Amino acid sequence: MQHIVIIGATSAMAEHCARLWVQDAPVRLTLVGRDEARTHRVADDLRVRSPQSHVQVMTTDFVNASAIQQTVHTIAALAPVDVVLIAHGVLSDQTTCENDVLACDAALQVNGVSPVLFAQAFAKPMVAANHGTIAIIGSVAGDRGRKTNYVYGAAKGLVSRYAQGMQHRLAHTGVKVVLIKPGPTDTPMTSDLKAKGQKMASVEQVAQDIVKGIATGKPVVYTPGIWQIIMLVVMHLPRFVFNKLNI
């Protein structure tokens, strides 16, 4: 059985990826969450979907480097890791972050530093085994800073640059690094945007793209695919045009 580890297992994207994995074949799943009861509810659902799978729950402090190190150490000792999906995040409110340095710090920690530390901690045993895939969920928001969400964007930009460097380092090894950049997706995290009527991709569709991207080891996965083109345009807009846009 494949050993798949999900960090931030209560996130809707991660949960739907897990549903696709267990639907495909029985797997060994280690679900890591912040909230123990919620993570157990995700685990129960997956056990109903796939009684043959082995689903285990762990909790940890996501913004504490030594807790992260300890958690990853424990997981790696359970069984060799085939896939780790690092999926946690909080869509921080830009205005709050602008006015409150503590909120800004929290947003940068949980969306940027924490995923990088998890990837860093998993890389060690996986490189030693010369096997496995590290998948990190970034965001299209990390491609170019915009006034409406640049704190979140900066954290995701950190994730992007880190993944890029890891891909360079591990290019000729058996370890693959997959950076996933979803566009706005219909999940609880974005429910405020949805309530305002913004069109969003379905989480099922995004999860399919993620699972496929991980299976093929694609270095960068934009999902839905159209965002690759949209961001290509956004990134190359000259500043005098860009600054006129209210995005």
Partner 1 sequence: MKPVSAWGRLSQDLHEVQMLTDRTSVAPILAAHQPGLAFGNGRSYGDVCLNPNGHLWHTTGLNKFIAFDETSGRLVCEAGVLLRDIQRLCVSRGWMLPVTPGTQLITVGGAIANDVHGKNHHAVGSFGDHVLGLSLVRTNGEALSLDWVNTPAWMNATAGGLGLTGVIVTAELQLRRVSSPWLRTETLPYQGLSEFFDLADASEHDWEHTVSWIDCLAGKTARGIFMRANPLSAQQVATMPSLRAALTAQNRKMQRKPLTMPFVPPVSLVNGLSLRPFNLAYYQLQKLKSGFDVAHYEPFFYPLDNLQHWNRMYGPRGFYQYQSVVPREVGHDAVQAMLDAIAHSGEGSFLAVLKTFGNREAKGMLSFPQPGVTLALDFPNRGERTRQLFERLDAIVRSAHGRLYMAKDARMPRDLFEAGYPRLSEFATYRDPGISSAMSRRLMEF
**Footprint on this chain of partner 1 (rule: CB under 8 A):** 12, 37-38, 41-42, 44-45, 48-49, 51, 188, 191, 194-197
Please name the residues in contact with 189: beta carbons below 8 A apart, sequence gap of 6 or more.
11, 12, 89, 90, 91
Q: How far is the CB of 165 from partner 1 (least distance, A)?
A: 35
Which is nearer to partner 1, 34 or 49 (by Cβ)? Answer: 49
Q: Judged by CB, which is closer to partner 1: 196, or 239?
A: 196
Nearest to partner 1 of 48, 241 (CB atom): 48
Which is nearer to partner 1, 37 or 128 (by Cβ)?
37
Please report the DSSP string for 103-139 in residue order.
Answer: HHHHHHIIIIIHHHHHHHHHHHHHHHHT-EEEEEE--
Tell me the closest approach of the beta carbon of residue 205 to partner 1, in angstroms. Answer: 9
Contact 232, 45 (CB under 8 A): no
CB 58 within 8 A of CB 30: yes
Closest CB 10 distance from partner 1, rounded Å? 9
- Specify the DSSP class assigned to residue 113: I
Residue indicated by tokens 């992007």 = 160
Nearest approach in angstroms of CB 22 to partner 1 is 11
Find, among 68, 51, 190, 178, the residue nearest to 117 by Cα.
68
